[in-house]
Amino acid sequence: MGLKVAVIGGGSTYTPELVQGLADRAASLPVDELALHDIDGERLAIVAGLAGRILRRQGWPGRLTTTTDRDAAIDSASFVLVQLRIGGQAARLTDETLPHRFGCIGQETTGPGGFAKALRTVPVVLALADDVARRSAADAWIVDFTNPVGIVTQALLDAGHRAIGLCNVAIGIQRRMAVRFDVTPDRVELEHVGLNHLTWIRAIRVDGVDRLPELIADHADELADESGTPTELLRALGALPSYYLHYYYQTREVLQEQLAGGTRAEDVMAIERELLELYRDPTLDRKPALLESRGGAFYSEAAAQLMASLHAGTGDVQVVDVRNDGALPDLPAAAVVEVPARIDRDGAHPLPLAPLAPELRGLVQAAKAYEELAIEAAIGGDPEVALKALLANPLVPDLRAAEGLLEAILEMNLRFLPRFASRA
pLDDT tens digits for 219-249?
A: 999 999 999 999 999 999 999 999 999 999 9
Q: Which residue is catalytic, options 244, 248, 279, 370?
A: 244
Predicted TM-score (pTM) of the model is: 0.97
Q: Helices in 228-357 by DSSP H: which ranges?
A: 231-237, 246-249, 251-260, 264-279, 299-312
Task: Find the mean pLDDT for residues 89-101.
Answer: 96
Task: Find the mean pLDDT for residues 330-348.
Answer: 98
Distance of CA 210 to the CA centre of its chain: 27
Strand partners, 67: 37
If one compares 423 and 13, the residue with the highest pLDDT of the two is: 13
Are the C-beta atoms of residues 151 and 96 closer than 8 Å to each other? no
Query: Radius of gyration over alpha carbons of the chain, in Å?
Result: 21
Task: Find the mean pLDDT for residues 5-13.
Answer: 97
pLDDT at 168: 92
pLDDT at 293: 73
Lowest average pLDDT, out of 21-30, 286-295, 390-399, goes to 286-295
| 249 annotated active-site | no
pLDDT reading at 1 higher than 70: no
Cα–Cα dist 22/10, whole Å: 14
If one compares 390 and 262, the residue with the highest pLDDT of the two is: 390
Q: At what angle do helices 299-312 and 169-180 cross, to 10 degrees?
A: 100
pLDDT tens digits for 274-312?
A: 999 999 999 999 989 888 777 666 888 899 999 999 999
pLDDT-above-70 percentage for the chain: 99
pLDDT-above-90 percentage for the chain: 94
CA-based torsion, 20, 26, 31, 32: positive or negative = positive
* Contacts of residue 368, Cβ cutoff 8 Å, sequence gap at least 6: 195, 331, 335
* Contacts of residue 76, Cβ cutoff 8 Å, sequence gap at least 6: 4, 135, 136, 137
Cα–Cα dist 270/76, whole Å: 37
Pairing of the two strands 347-350 and 336-344: antiparallel
Task: Find the mean pLDDT for residues 49-58.
Answer: 97
pLDDT reading at 157 higher than 80: yes
